[in-house]
Structure 1
Amino acid sequence: MVDNDEVLKYIGGFGTYQRRLCLLLSLTAIPYAGHMLAMAFLGAKPPHHCSVAGLENITVRFGEDEGLRLVFPGTTKDGVWTLNPCKRYDLGSVDVEGADPWNTTGLTEVPCDHGWWYDTSQFKTSVTMEHNLVCGRKWMGSLAQSIFMVGVLLGAVIFGDLSDRFGRKKVYFLSLFIMLVFGVATAFAHNYWLFVFLRMIIGATNSGVFLTAFVLASELVSPDHRTLISMFLTMFFGIGGVTLALVAYLIRYWEWLQLAISLPNVLFIMVYWWVINESPRWLLANNQKVRAVEIFRKVADVNKKAIPEGLFEEDEETDAVKTNGQPKSRHSILDLVRTPNVRRKSLIMFYAWFVAGFVFYGLSLNATNLAGNPYLNFFVSCAVEIPAYILAKLSMDRIGRRWSLLAFLLVAGLAMLCIMFIPTAYSTAITVLAVIGKFGAAGCFGTIYVFATEIFPTVVRNVGVGASSMCARIGAIVAPFVFLLHDVWSPLPYITSGGVALVAAGLVLLLPETLGTKLPQSLEESENFNRKTAQTTTSEKPNDETDKTAETKV
């Protein structure tokens, strides 16, 4: 069989063709990020309170502040009075004209039995307002996002398998098409459960797009450039978040915003079908050498490389010869927990990925609930991802993978724990600390993928990274519900996030450094690979078969 990596040595491992392909595929990460983070605006929860007939007359009679105190119960903290958005006073038998707004003792509190009033100064419509997903129904908003992330998790498995069976290009465009259809349909879904179902399908296709985009790009570049592909895609994810903030600022109706996120797929499908080719590696693996050679020749032409004679001749050496006649042994996820050292490293890595997903998506989706302008908060929260990814790349090559991940976890954890000591009245300080926490969480994602691909031995690297990525998705599923703890005590979600991040930072210290070390290939080597035995040599690059699961943000 023709050796894909050997061909790339002659036609260019990261030439003009690959850079162009990487840019085109990375552009689809922008709507991908839009769907992943859309609930921050689709499900926006503006200031609200019970709908009360005659409220305007009361506030005119007593003034805005005193009128609200007479109608709604509330609490005072740090000198700031906040009304209860889920209850009102029963004023049916009270002489309102003679009532004292500062003395409401004896008034009966009742739930909002006539719906809610919403402040539409920032958000004209949202799913939360449409379905009253507040107070006793607030959990339904978190459920919608969590089910979306369940779709993301399922989609990684389903579309990953389909791309192996039917090809990268076909599944990539199938995912784009399904995402387009269901994305547009979601804009017209005014039933809550239909909205949730359609969003789950979008989540699944999101995985299909991002996963196959990474695979298409990584299978046509040399092994030493595959982590660069990963960083490029994650940076465009950050650009997608920034773009979402700008589009949401201009389009404040959730239905139109959903359409704006979905319709760019029309352009991608119409244009990309003619310029993006199938993966030559997949074609070779499926006995389609003629098509693979045609694509290799196109790559060589664009990269202005001469093809040496005989480059595409069949390799007579069979797999049996390459493996000394021994059949390749198969490994499973159970191999990651069979022996003590491999089990410890695997569990620490799984937990670190869980924390990365939990903290990243928790802070991202909560950005619009912070004090101040929700669009600006979300914009800044996403913008800090870009320098975080760049810093992650630089720091990994200078101070190592372990210390880089540790530093980003400490930044995220300490920033969020500091919120506990900030009075509610200092809302700007809380917002700044939340953004710093998001910077740390993004840096974790920029670091942990490379660390994971190197910490797992070659024979189970694919399984290890795949299982780790699933743990990140589980963290993203849990995050929306943890942030409901804000109603119990406002700093509690941040304390929880900061606590798990600091625990992860402590555990990372138990892992061996992989920068400049000879990486383990077998399970036996991995069992003996620890902080004391790691030898500094030229790093082994993860092999081509294991790079396929590198979807860091899916």
Structure 2
Amino acid sequence: MAQEKNQLRMKDYEEIVAFLDQWGCFQKAVFFLLCASIIPNGFGAFNLVFLTDVPDHHCFVPDLNFSEEWRKSIIPKTVLNGKQELSRCSRYRLDVVQNLSDRGFIPGRDVNLTDLEEERCVDGWSYSTDVYLSTVVTEFDLVCSDQWAQPFTTSVFFIGVLVGSFFSGQLSDRYGRKPILFATMAAQTIFTFAQVFSTSWTMFVILLFFNGLGQISNFVAALVLGAEVLTGNVRILYSSMGTCLGFAVGYILLSVVAYFLRDWKSLLMALSLPCLAYIPLWWLLPESPRWLLSRGRVKEAEAVIRKAARWNKVQAPTVIFETYS
């Protein structure tokens, strides 16, 4: 019986606040500010495309006294997809090459390169900087025997997204839409910035996991808050197009920023620091009146509606939610 009564009250909500109109200054501010709050989700969902890209690479060759012919031939050539490329994970043994170079042998003429013994990249790798100055892959050498870590990094992020989706709704129902929205925005900003100072791949993916916790949680909190504050056709427009538009703007801006910033640390800083501009939104965005009413906080819900009335320059009734009192 209590549940049916509550549902009836929720249905009456739009009729009670109809005096506000659907598209006043208050609704416009909520609509566009919430859309703006979703922009970082577009950053976070796709930045790993750039952060974990694998540039061309081959074994690093120390500056030893080789002849020019041997320096050009020390990396074996392999055929990949019908195209001849330098081997990414092996080189000819340096001591053997050094001996052959000192004796004046010419590779390919005096020595059959396919007969030479190969070794792993024990001195590290040389990475191409044609596209990126650095990525997480080049920073922590996630190649060859550790190449599994590159796709696993993305998996860790989406595991965080999955875990966050399990409890964000419950937290939002208990503590309110607005606190959870800003808590998840803060989590994304803080952990994205903290990743810049990662000293190991393990540290990076741990921070990435917590970053993922706020990803879908932030999106859903903004979606629910807007859907409960706005009414009528504006509510439908926001829920169907507004939120998606904010997300799309995020990943469009990501591609622009990534084009100009080609090292992973600069990219993360550029994606996290501007989010500090969202702090003033705490004083501009309201709590959901519907949620306040569901918790029995009628006076606080009325305060939100009276503020909206002032913004829209309309007169609010003396008692707004009489049936909820």
TM-score for both structures, normalised by structure 2: 0.85
Q: 1:265 — aligned with what?
A: 275
* Alignment CA distance shift 1:166-1:56 (3 Å): farther
CA contact (8 A) 1:216 1:278 kept: yes
Q: Distance in 2 between matches of 1:55 and 1:287?
A: 78
* Alignment CA distance shift 1:265-1:71 (3 Å): closer
In structure 1, list runs of 5 or more residues that go unmatched.
Answer: 317-554
Opposite residue 27 of structure 1, the aligned amino acid is A
Kindly indicate whether residue 23 of structure 2 is the aligned counterpart of residue 19 of structure 1. Answer: no
In structure 2, list runs of 5 or more residues that go unmatched.
Answer: 1-8
Matched length? 309
Opposite residue 48 of structure 2, the aligned amino acid is M
Deviation of the 1:77 alpha carbon: 4.3
Q: 2:244 — aligned with what?
A: 234
Kindly indicate whether residue 129 of structure 2 is the aligned counterpart of residue 123 of structure 1. Answer: no
Superposed, 1:137-176 pairs within 5 Å as 137-176=146-185
Superposed, 1:258-337 pairs within 5 Å as 258-269=268-279, 271-307=280-316, 311-314=320-323
The structure with more radius of gyration: 2
CA contact (8 A) 2:50 2:135 kept: yes
SS in 1 for 2:84: strand
Identity across the alignment (%):
32
CA contact (8 A) 1:180 1:263 kept: yes
* Alignment CA distance shift 1:234-1:124 (3 Å): same
Superposed, 1:507-526 pairs within 5 Å as none
CA contact (8 A) 1:18 1:217 kept: no
Q: 1:453 — aligned with what?
A: none
Q: Distance in 1 between matches of 2:147 and 2:126?
A: 15
Q: 1:7 — aligned with what?
A: 16
Q: Distance in 2 between matches of 1:111 and 1:153?
A: 38
Deviation of the 1:299 alpha carbon: 2.2
Kindly indicate whether residue 46 of structure 2 is the aligned counterpart of residue 37 of structure 1. Answer: yes
Alpha-carbon deviations, 1:258-286, whole Å to 9, x = none?
A: 222112232212x1111111010101111
1:92 is aligned, of 90, 95, 103, to: 95
CA contact (8 A) 2:142 2:149 kept: yes
Q: Distance in 2 between matches of 1:56 and 1:207?
A: 55
Alpha-carbon deviations, 1:38-78, whole Å to 9, x = none?
A: 212222321111112358966x4479xxx25x522311644
SS in 2 for 1:88: strand
* Alignment CA distance shift 1:106-1:175 (3 Å): same
Q: Distance in 2 between matches of 1:56 and 1:217?
A: 68
CA contact (8 A) 1:73 1:89 kept: no
Q: CA RMSD for the aligned pairs?
A: 2.7
Deviation of the 1:192 alpha carbon: 1.4
Deviation of the 1:310 alpha carbon: 6.1
1:75 is aligned, of 45, 69, 79, to: 79
Alpha-carbon deviations, 1:179-236, whole Å to 9, x = none?
A: 3332222211112111111111111122232111111111112254444223222222
Alpha-carbon deviations, 1:279-329, whole Å to 9, x = none?
A: 10101111111111121122233334454676532169xxxxxxxxxxxxx
Q: Distance in 1 between matches of 2:143 and 2:283?
A: 47
Q: Distance in 2 between matches of 1:253 and 1:112?
A: 23
Deviation of the 1:103 alpha carbon: 5.3
* Alignment CA distance shift 1:107-1:8 (3 Å): farther
Deviation of the 1:174 alpha carbon: 1.8
CA contact (8 A) 2:137 2:150 kept: yes
CA contact (8 A) 2:69 2:106 kept: no
Q: 1:51 — aligned with what?
A: 60
Q: Distance in 1 between matches of 2:180 and 2:278?
A: 14
Deviation of the 1:115 alpha carbon: 1.0
SS in 1 for 2:85: strand
Opposite residue 299 of structure 2, the aligned amino acid is V
Kindly indicate whether residue 248 of structure 2 is the aligned counterpart of residue 248 of structure 1. Answer: no
SS in 1 for 2:58: strand
Kindly indicate whether residue 37 of structure 2 is the aligned counterpart of residue 28 of structure 1. Answer: yes
Q: 2:203 — aligned with what?
A: 194
Which 10-residue stretch deviates more, 259-268 or 296-305? 296-305
SS in 1 for 2:114: coil
* Alignment CA distance shift 1:91-1:242 (3 Å): same
Superposed, 1:521-540 pairs within 5 Å as none
TM-score for both structures, normalised by structure 1: 0.51
Moved segments of 4+, more than 6 Å: none
* Alignment CA distance shift 1:151-1:76 (3 Å): closer
SS in 1 for 2:95: coil
CA contact (8 A) 2:140 2:201 kept: yes
SS in 2 for 1:277: coil
* Alignment CA distance shift 1:154-1:14 (3 Å): farther
Q: Distance in 2 between matches of 1:228 and 1:265?
A: 25
Q: Distance in 2 between matches of 1:137 and 1:126?
A: 15
Q: 2:3 — aligned with what?
A: none
* Alignment CA distance shift 1:32-1:248 (3 Å): same
Opposite residue 125 of structure 1, the aligned amino acid is S
Q: 2:4 — aligned with what?
A: none
CA contact (8 A) 2:75 2:86 kept: no
Q: 1:465 — aligned with what?
A: none
Bigger relative CO (Cα 8 Å, ≥ 6 apart): 2
* Alignment CA distance shift 1:215-1:148 (3 Å): same
* Alignment CA distance shift 1:12-1:157 (3 Å): farther
* Alignment CA distance shift 1:302-1:53 (3 Å): same
* Alignment CA distance shift 1:30-1:306 (3 Å): same
* Alignment CA distance shift 1:234-1:57 (3 Å): farther
